A = this chain, B = another copy of it.
């Protein structure tokens, strides 16, 4: 078994409005930051995973996204698995 570091990023799908992102964009503009566009707010989930190899870690991390971490109707996810520690 090897211990892998997994980073999952779950974002609202591009085709959906993101009211939270819009609110953050307006707040940043109100603070004086200019030139900001298309703010979107999602989740970042990190964890460690003991698996025999990187493919198994990636496969299980994707399964976790599909079953719990992301809502496939409204959210898209990316999985990054980083090597052995």
Contact between A38 and B48 (Cβ–Cβ < 8 Å)?
yes
1/0 per residue, CB under 8 A from B, across A14-27: the answer is 00000001001101
Closest B residue to A5 using CB positions: B38
Q: Does A73 contact B (CB under 8 A)?
A: no
1/0 per residue, CB under 8 A from B, across A22-40: the answer is 0011011001011111111
12 contacts between A and B (CB under 8 A): A1-B35, A21-B45, A24-B45, A27-B68, A31-B67, A31-B68, A35-B50, A37-B47, A38-B46, A38-B48, A41-B45, A42-B46
Closest 6 CB pairs of A and B: A35-B50, A37-B48, A39-B47, A44-B44, A42-B44, A9-B44
